Amino acid sequence: MTMAAILDGRRIAAEIRASVAERVDRLRRARGIVPGIAFVTVGEDPASLAYVAMKDRACAEAGIRSWQFSLPRDISEREVLERIAALAADPAVHGILVQLPLPGHIAAAAVQSAVPPEKDVDGFHPVNMGRLLLGEEDGFVPCTPAGVVELLVRSGGSWEGRDVVVVGRGAIVGRPLAALLMRKGPPLNATVTVCHTGTRDLARHTRRADIVVAAAGRPRFLTAEMVREGAVVIDVGINRVDDPSSPRGYRLAGDVDFEGVSRKASAVSPVPGGVGPMTIAMLLSNTARAAERRAG
Ligand code: NAP
């Protein structure tokens, strides 16, 4: 029995981060500019704080300056918007990232729209989302979809002409990924089907796909029976599942039944170590790009 190749997000993300560090260094030497990103969190959500700490470390390693603004949970939406307006006006700040989720009394859409599109390194501003949907290439692409694309391309694969099934139409992953994969020309140019909870007979779609991207947030829902022999499977899911044997009481699981699928697929991405590290690498790349653009 052949086992699937592993799409090694850790290795590829390290390559991207090294090339970002070179770009940052060039900008510093040539123009005296140090790219900077501000992270804004609201409340004490442990997962959000852990993500921001990881992103912050990755920035430091690449030579990107970063600031963390941990705002109290009971802060008003107006005060958050004022903080973002101050960061928007600060020339040392090239990127602004508001870590989701936000507490219920703060509208994520209002906050995301307050980040100027040219500092929106997360790619969630309606202008950047709109550019992506229009097929324009000059906006910022959300980091996870961009990471999914790069993971396959830098592993020697291609999306071009492939039948791709994306499971999930979330605003952070599935929806922007579908728009990205539809872009004309190599290495994209895929034929994309997007599945969701309204899809009848999900397996009928996933089984005919050359490439399946699982982004539903359902632990291990994608099983071997749902993919065809030789398919490429990319697992975006990050789910906490109870695990009394772990000191934390839980462990992280992807959306894919890795053991089963890796006996049938030609390539599969693991969780952890697949798309997660790619997301952070693409954030660094977007931040360097924001600073390069401002420098002209
Ligand atoms: P989301 O906004 O909740 O979207 C989930 C999507 O999956 C929805 O469109 C939903 O359909 C669909 N779905 C849920 N259950 C389904 C089922 N049984 N069959 C078919 N479709 C189903 O989530 P998200 O923000 O896009 O995130 C998706 C996953 O990616 C989560 O596990 C998240 O933690 C992970 N993630 C990972 C990274 C990373 O860096 N690796 C980054 C971001 C997110 P409806 O629209 O019909 O409800």
In order of their start, the domains of the chain are 32-118 (3.40.50.10860), 142-276 (3.40.50.720)
Q: Which amino acid is at 130?
A: G
Going by C-alpha positions, the residue among 218, 219, 191 that lies closest to residue 205 is 191
Give pLDDT < 50 ranges for the chain. Answer: none
Q: How far apart are CA 94 and CA 114, in angstroms?
A: 14
Please say if 264 is a catalytic residue: no
Going by C-alpha positions, the residue among 5, 66, 89 that lies closest to residue 274 is 5
Please give the pLDDT value at position 1.
Answer: 63
Q: What is the pTM of this model?
A: 0.97
Give the nearest ligand 1 atom to 237 CA.
Answer: 32
Kindly report the protein residue whose alpha carbon is nearest to atom 31 of ligand 1.
Answer: 217
Q: How far apart are CA 180 and CA 188, in angstroms?
A: 8
Q: Are 212 and 204 in contact (CB under 8 A)?
A: no
What spacing in Å lies between the alpha carbon of 105 and ligand 1's midpoint? 23
* C-alpha distance from residue 103 to each of 99, 106, 108, 205, 244 (Å): 11, 6, 9, 36, 29
Q: What are phi and psi of 291, to 5 degrees?
A: -70, -40
- Beta carbon of 279 within 6 Å of any ligand 1 atom: yes
Please say if 122 is a catalytic residue: yes
Please give the pLDDT value at position 187.
Answer: 95
Please give the pLDDT value at position 93.
Answer: 98
Please say if 55 is a catalytic residue: yes
Pocket test for ligand 1, best of 112, 173, 193, 222 (most atoms within 8 A of CB): 173
What spacing in Å lies between the alpha carbon of 252 and ligand 1's midpoint? 15
